[in-house]
Chain A
Amino acid sequence: MAHAQHAAAPAILQEVKPAVVPRAVLVQNNRSFAWITDKICGIIEGKTPTWWWVCFIVACFVASFTVAGITYLVATGVGVWGHRSPVNWGWPIVNFVFWIGIGHAGTLISAILCLLRQKWRTSINRAAEAMTIFAVVCAGIFPVFHVGRVWYAWFLFPLPNSNLIWQNFRSPLEWDVFAVSTYGTVSVLFWYVGLIPDLAVLRDRFYATGNKTRSFLYGLFAMGWRGSNRHWSNYEMAYLILAGIATPLVLSVHTIVSFDFAVSLIPGWHTTIFPPYFVAGAIFSGFGMVLTLMLPLRAIYHLEDLITQYHIDCMCKITLATGTMVGYAYAMEFFIAWYSANPYEGFTFINRAFGPYAWAYWIMITCNVVTPQLFWFKRVRTNTTLVWVLSIFVNVGMWFERFVIICTSLTRDFLPSSWGYFSPTIVDIFTFFGTFGVFSVLFLLFIRFLPIMPMAEIKAVTQQADVHSGSDHH
């Protein structure tokens, strides 16, 4: 019946013959389920490659910079970092916002794109979520250790301590504590729930090859997954619920981070545009980092069939869109400063663009607004090397954005007696540099021991899993 109706399509369609635009294929070369499993599990099961060891040792070495820097800081005082009055928040807060921003792509990909049924998320969501968690770890280091007395940092948590003192819930810093810890928790949960079916696959494969230890460990975390219909239906419901919970978090975390500034009185911070502008910037930087990480992985492990040009195109387009939003926000800040006729705001923005930190401002504009515009061109999006370089520009630009916001406003606030210039110390530089090591160590462990892509989800978007596969042409 339905077929008959379909066949008798409106005559107009016969007449105009609309072009059939083929849908992008998410798994190329019509790969089989077995191929996908072997490909992804092979990364874990194969011998540890030499490049992995080299990278891992280098990453550990770099990470030790953070450990050493933080130790020296705690033992000596936060004055070993470059922040001084009046710039009482220097690099640590810049680095905090930078890392937490990077952590935004993960939840966006896993939660919002899941709810919007953007199937291209499947091959990148696992790694992006891992990146999110590791970025949150790196972000957490800075606000905790930037406080003068880190051994009292637990005062920030509403623990049932002997004092039973509530924290000051009017303080945006306190909101941050909840925003970031909630985000971290939900990201870990989401990541873990998604991992369960894949861990079970690894459990079974290691069992089959006789590696009992690893089979046991993967089995432990797979929590008895057998892939029954009941398991899948519960799993999918849990995943959907978590996606629902995580969706507002994508917006809330960076909104609240922006409140640290927006709620304060300092000119250049005290503005209502901050929340949307920070969220757009965070997604922008997150996708920048996803590209930075995924493109080398794709090349090393020959994952071109799973991370297709279509995936890269999508990520580039999101980067372009969010980068343009950020550019709009920069312009709007200037407009509002002029339109509000507030002399402090006006001064602050002119000082940002042409004052002592003009160099940082123009690096920011170049990397965040100008270079992403190249993603309009298909030739740029298909040149993976160029995409990778541009994604690094995004990372650099977004770090400078936070630097510009924090340092220009603090160096030129209300009274000239509190004007200064911020310069980082060597400890600042080492500690920040070291967090890339921390991040890399975690990420390398991730790609070595956990499936970097969700096998089950990728299988669900293959052509053979699609009951309508091939029907587009009829």
Chain B
Amino acid sequence: MSLSAPHDPQAAPDAGTTRRSFLRTSAVLATGLAAVAASLKPLFEMEDIPSAEQFMQKYYKELTPADMAKVLQRIEREVEKQYGVRPHVRDLKPLDGVEFAYALNLSRCIGCRKCVHACVAENNQSRNPEIQYIRVLKLPHGTFDLEKSDHNYAPDQVPEKGFFTMPVQCQQCHNPPCVKVCPVHATWQETDGITVIDYDWCIGCRYCEAACPYWARRFNFTKPSIPADRLNPEMAYLGNRPRKKGVMEKCHFCIQRTRAGRYPACLEVCPTGSRKFGNVLDPNSEISQILRTKRVFMQLKEDVGTNPRFYYYFDV
């Protein structure tokens, strides 16, 4: 390209640095840097920066038993430091020949919400802000139009005449949309059907929450807080160990109990026996019998194709 080089000194009158321009530039830069430094101050007061050990931790499925032992010890140390309680953290693997399912008897549920609170106590959910895994919907008799449901009901006494109640929690879908959308594989389905979250791998993008049609997932938008004397020290890595700020959590069928042969906390506390849980691969289990013989009328939101492991049934 032809270059029309101007030899006109007027074209660039401020070539070179003068004292004035130097001072002015320095003043602007200094003010700018001071402002940036001031605004970065909160970063240096952060408490929950992960330790190098945690930061370099391998992906759950790649951890050898020895690695896992170290990780569990680290978690125990951290929990003890934060809460003053020495927990017992285990990494429980799915049992062979077991696939869990849950059945809830809508004829019996009275909507007392004891399951909600037992779950919070068992699974070390944050008390402030309040995080709960189970949401109980109150519906008028004669309809399953969920638009008519109310989850903020507060009568003096339950059950209320003319209404029935329907607790909703993680449905542990056969085809979980939340697992598909997690960009980093921080959530997956185990062989016993439980969809778990690795709280050390979750980056907190909340796509799983957007994907879940049941609103089963709960996010720690801020630092969770649990009174030290309310901490449940019997913990599992993929289960109820305390979560950090910025990670997702949800119902995991009380993995720390159910994989050790116990019932979930919500089931144990239920005063009406509405909640049934067990191994569907065992034809003689209670859950298998219920699914075979009772009026299992629905999986919630069947039409979205998630195929839940959580069934609602009637007695009659």
Could you list which residues of chain A lie within 8 angstroms of chain B, going by C-beta atoms? 33-34, 37-38, 42, 45-48, 57, 60, 64, 67-68, 71-72, 74-80, 83-86, 88-89, 143, 146-149, 151-153, 155-156, 162-163, 165-168, 170-174, 177, 197, 201, 204-206, 208-211, 227, 260, 263-266, 347, 410, 413-418, 455-456, 459
A-binding segment of B45-53, B104-112, B231-239, B284-292: B45-53
Once the chains are docked, how many angstroms separate the CA of A159 from the CA of B2?
Answer: 46
Once the chains are docked, how many angstroms separate the CA of A173 from the CA of B59?
Answer: 20
Contact B42 A76 (CB under 8 A): yes
Once the chains are docked, how many angstroms separate the CA of A75 from the CA of B36?
Answer: 15
Contact B183 A417 (CB under 8 A): no
Interface size on B, residues (CB 8 A): 74
Q: What is the count of residue pairs linking A and B with beta-carbon distances less than 8 angstroms?
A: 213
Once the chains are docked, how many angstroms separate the CA of A201 from the CA of B137?
Answer: 71
Contact partner, B39, options A64, A78, A347, Cβ 8 Å: A64
Residues of B within 8 A of A211 (CB): 12, 15-16
Once the chains are docked, how many angstroms separate the CA of A182 from the CA of B200?
Answer: 29
Contact B180 A89 (CB under 8 A): no
Contact B59 A459 (CB under 8 A): no
B180, closest chain A residue (CB) = A170
Contact A266 B149 (CB under 8 A): no
Contact A148 B32 (CB under 8 A): no
A59 to B: closest C-beta gap in Å: 12
Once the chains are docked, how many angstroms separate the CA of A172 from the CA of B2?
Answer: 49
Contact B35 A168 (CB under 8 A): no
Contact B206 A88 (CB under 8 A): yes
Once the chains are docked, how many angstroms separate the CA of A49 from the CA of B214?
Answer: 58
Listed by A's residue number, 13 A-B pairs whose Cβ atoms lie within 8 Å are A78-B246, A147-B205, A149-B246, A173-B181, A197-B1, A264-B181, A265-B177, A414-B301, A415-B146, A415-B168, A415-B213, A415-B215, A417-B135
B102 to A: closest C-beta gap in Å: 17
User: Other than the known A209-B6, A415-B137, what 13 A-B pairs have Cβ atoms closer than 8 Å?
Assistant: A47-B14, A77-B246, A80-B222, A148-B205, A152-B201, A155-B201, A155-B203, A162-B58, A166-B185, A204-B3, A263-B181, A347-B147, A415-B149
Contact B210 A88 (CB under 8 A): yes
Residues of B within 8 A of A210 (CB): 15
Contact A147 B168 (CB under 8 A): no
Contact A416 B202 (CB under 8 A): no
Contact A264 B219 (CB under 8 A): no
Residues of A within 8 A of B214 (CB): 414-415
Once the chains are docked, how many angstroms separate the CA of A465 from the CA of B45?
Answer: 63
B9 to A: closest C-beta gap in Å: 7
A-contact 0/1 string along B67-88, CB 8 Å cutoff: 0000000000000000000000
B245 within 8 A of A: yes
B11 within 8 A of A: yes
B111 to A: closest C-beta gap in Å: 13
**Across chains A and B, which 6 residue pairs bring their CB atoms closest together, nearest first?**
A148-B204, A148-B246, A79-B221, A418-B215, A75-B42, A34-B4
Residues of B within 8 A of A173 (CB): 181, 183, 205, 207
Contact B204 A171 (CB under 8 A): no
Contact B205 A146 (CB under 8 A): yes
Residues of B within 8 A of A418 (CB): 215
B223 within 8 A of A: yes
Once the chains are docked, how many angstroms separate the CA of A46 from the CA of B6?
Answer: 13
Contact A148 B245 (CB under 8 A): yes
Contact A149 B204 (CB under 8 A): yes
Contact A74 B43 (CB under 8 A): yes
Residues of A within 8 A of B218 (CB): 85
A232, closest chain B residue (CB) = B1
Contact B15 A416 (CB under 8 A): no
Once the chains are docked, how many angstroms separate the CA of A271 from the CA of B137?
Answer: 29
Once the chains are docked, how many angstroms separate the CA of A174 from the CA of B207?
Answer: 11
Residues of A within 8 A of B66 (CB): none
Contact A417 B6 (CB under 8 A): no
Contact A414 B146 (CB under 8 A): yes
| Known A-B contacts A148-B202, A148-B247, A206-B12; A171 and B207 likewise in contact (beta carbons under 8 Å) | yes
